[in-house]
Chains A and B, each alone.
Chain A
Amino acid sequence: MTSANLTDVVQAEQGTSLWKDAWRRLRKNRLALFGLAVLSVFIVVALLTPWIAPYAYDAQNLDLGASPPSAAHWLGTDIFGRDLLTQILYGGRISLAVGFVATAVALVIGVTWGAVAGYVGGRVDAVMMRLVDILYALPFMIFIVLLMVVFGRNLLLLFLAIGAVEWLTMARIMRGQVQSLRQQEFVEAAVSLGLSPATIVRRHLVPNALGPIIVYTTLTIPSVMLLEAFLSFLGLGVQPPATSWGLLISYGAETMEEYPWLLIFPGAALTLTLFALNFLGDGLRDALDVRGSGD
């Protein structure tokens, strides 16, 4: 509902929407910008990995064995003589993919669930949220371990399982948002104008609930990545020949006395990504002025 030729009628002063305002605040936050930059680089690199990785993924050099960083192998090699940088690049693809896909699963389920419960209210809300409460009380970490044991280490299952845990908080946040927004007078005004419920949700509720959802989404990605790494470390996540940062760290930990770089570099990659995401999430929280933490 914007109009291009409005300026013909009157010299309108340009307003600053809350989004623009938030972006301006975010731009002043150096840590958040650093996070955004690191993240962007990692994502681009992950997308381009097959073309830019220095060695083939499965290229071994058993004669070389584990060697420290050198000109040929910037980050050194593992005990099979495989290039660690290549391993980290491919591992990062999986780690990031798990983080983003599982978060997306959680986002879709959680936001829909929470929005419906919050908007419909009444008995439907009570039943839906009671279910969330019950699921919340389940010890999911243990369940995921169990699932991995029972069904084997299946990546798709891992996405779904992690997504299924994380949607609960998302649903709670969304419901809280919708509920508090519903009581706002501008929503009442929209009702009294005669807008349909769908339009009210789309134009009046969603744009206002988006802030906390964005923030929580940004903070969910690192916790999902941690979960994946945790499972892979235990040997219950990603399985060889595929690799992930968690798996690399677990190998590194086994041989850290002799070959510390095998632990330190994958660890640094994971930690740096988590830093970037958390800084960005915190920055967004401040910029969007979202109160409370949700975790």
Chain B
Amino acid sequence: MPLLSVRDLQVDFTTRNGRITAVNGIGFDVEPGQITAIIGESGSGKSVACYSLLGLLPTPPASIERGSAVFDGRDLLQMSERELREIRGRDIAMIFQDPMTCLNPYMTVGNQLVEPLIYHRKVTRAQARERALELLAEVGLRDPQATIDQYPHQFSGGMRQRVMIAMALINEPRLLIADEPTTALDVTIQAQILELIAELQRKRNIGVIFISHDLSVVADIADEIVVMEKGHVVERGDRQAIFQAAEHPYTQKLLAAIPAGSKPPADAAREDLIQVRNLCTWFSQGRGAEPLRAVDDVSFTVQRGEVLGLVGESGSGKSTIGRSLLRLVPVTSGEVLFDGTDVTGLAGAGLKQMRRRMQMIFQDPYASLNPRMSVYDTLAEPLLLHGIATRKTVEQGVLQLMDDVGLARAFVRKYPHEFSGGQRQRIAIGRALATRPEFVVADEPVSALDVTIQAQILELMLELGREYGLTMLFVSHDLAVVRHIADRILVLYKGRVVEQGTGDALFNAPKEDYTRQLLQAIPGRGLL
């Protein structure tokens, strides 16, 4: 008998623009001792479905229209708030995406940890604390005695997520709902947390619902996979079936979107467009404090026409390198030669001229467009600024750019908030290409996007790169994506270059320990 059996669940939302059905008649089972993954892109209803089971959706605006969710012989959807409360945190526990915001910043982790135990099991505070210390050790926190009385901000992201897991498990629940528990974490940390969840699940033999947008993340741990699209379950099956014989076109699309393979090697040696020599970018951390060495003595070259991948985890300095090349942050020392000219010394008209030749595409398409400017204004600005178009020809220029990046011309009057993430990234790419640059820095251009959109944007960038004859610095935390798009890859760690080479060389014969660690951490590497 399944531990949880959801049938015909429908959840609606009342919004300013009318009613929306977020979850439309879905059903799935969770077996005890198994991990059921629910996969879907943003807006697929995967989180809403799970939150509605525990009564964690604010009503209104949400309302559960119909359906049943039988847990342990009782229908969760028919329970009163009081009965549900008895189950929440005792029989069914949750962990969330962002361990930064999900822990109370005003309470010590110890006090937060013991809460469910004291409330549900009526144990004394001392007993609860004892238990919390055991669990913290079990989830891999070093020296729980010393850290249990600290506040969440004193922990790293990975450690916070371990605390969250301990908190969820403290009452020995039978079902654990994990909502994108690794999405906010670095790759190597993600691998550790995935392993931890799988291990604890096996040991306790509990059922787990693992919600994720990324099929590859669950490739190693899921027993069952439920694929959701726009409020519907489009496919269900065991891991084997989904990965090897997916039937639904959407599942196939998701699988195809997992970046795989590497770019064929370039045909011939090319001249260097950019030479970076002993680049240092340090940030002051206040008087008396050691400066933060975001980029520390880095040298490399970028050849004309190539895509150079820059890979590293948070704090590796990868974004700062890109911004240093474009003079968006002040460089501390070193040289950046662009076509023979040292960019670091430029000012005034010379700098403006150089800016035309090198552009940037940013990570967050929600923040990288001025919300008060229409597509037309955004794209026309660079065209007019650099005299690429005159007032007479600027419309034609704008429309041409929209064609190039695959945006319908009819949208030219619209504003950023009226577009989806992928469409916005297209606008941002159009803006970067407007000046006809020779060199583009792309800073994590796809990591804020849904998987299927991600694949489209990567395709678009490769295509435009060829068309415009671009040289590109592609910054990303995701090795698989970089391997897919880059000719050569630079691996960064703490502001220094650890290793460089072609994608195949790095993947097949990594020389450095850190590179090996990164490769090991790639989720679902069996798929590649």
Contact = CB atoms under 8 A, between A and B. Distances in A.
**Is A–B contact present in the complex under a CB 8 A cutoff?**
yes
A11 interface: yes
A135 to B, nearest CB: 25
A104 to B, nearest CB: 24
Nearest to A6: B395
B409 interface: yes
Interface string A186-216: 1011111111000000011001100000000
B360 interface: yes
Contacts of B409: 9-10, 12
B460 interface: no
B364 interface: yes
A190 B394 CA distance: 18
B28 interface: no
Contacts of B377: 1-2
A185 to B, nearest CB: 4
Interface stretch (A14-22, A40-48, A49-57, A80-88): A14-22
**B interface residue count range (under 10 / 10 to 19 / 20 to 34 / 35 or more):** 35 or more
A185 B395 contact: no
Contact of B362 (A10, A185, A194, A208): A185
Given A12-B412, A15-B414, A185 B372 contact: no
Contacts of B323: 188
Nearest to A188: B328
By secondary structure, the B interface counts as helix
Contacts of B414: 13, 15-16
A11 to B, nearest CB: 6
Interface residues of A, number: 32
A208 B413 contact: no
A184 interface: yes
Interface string B424-438: 000010011001000
A189 B395 contact: no
A18 B372 contact: yes
B362 to A, nearest CB: 4
B100 interface: no
B367 interface: yes
Interface in B276-312: none
A17 B328 contact: no
Contact of A207 (B328, B352, B372, B418): B372
A3 interface: yes
Contact of A186 (B370, B376, B417): B370
Interface in B314-358: 323, 326, 328, 351-352, 355-356, 358
B417 A10 contact: no
Contacts of A21: 417
Interface string B367-398: 11111111111001110111000000011100
A14 B410 CA distance: 9
A174 B414 CA distance: 28
B413 A18 contact: no
B250 interface: no
A17 B367 contact: no
Contacts of A203: 370, 373, 381
Q: Which 10 A-B pairs have the closest CB atoms?
A: A15-B414, A194-B355, A185-B368, A185-B362, A194-B352, A207-B372, A15-B413, A10-B409, A12-B413, A185-B367
Interface of A: 1-3, 5-6, 9-19, 21, 184-186, 188-195, 203-204, 207-208
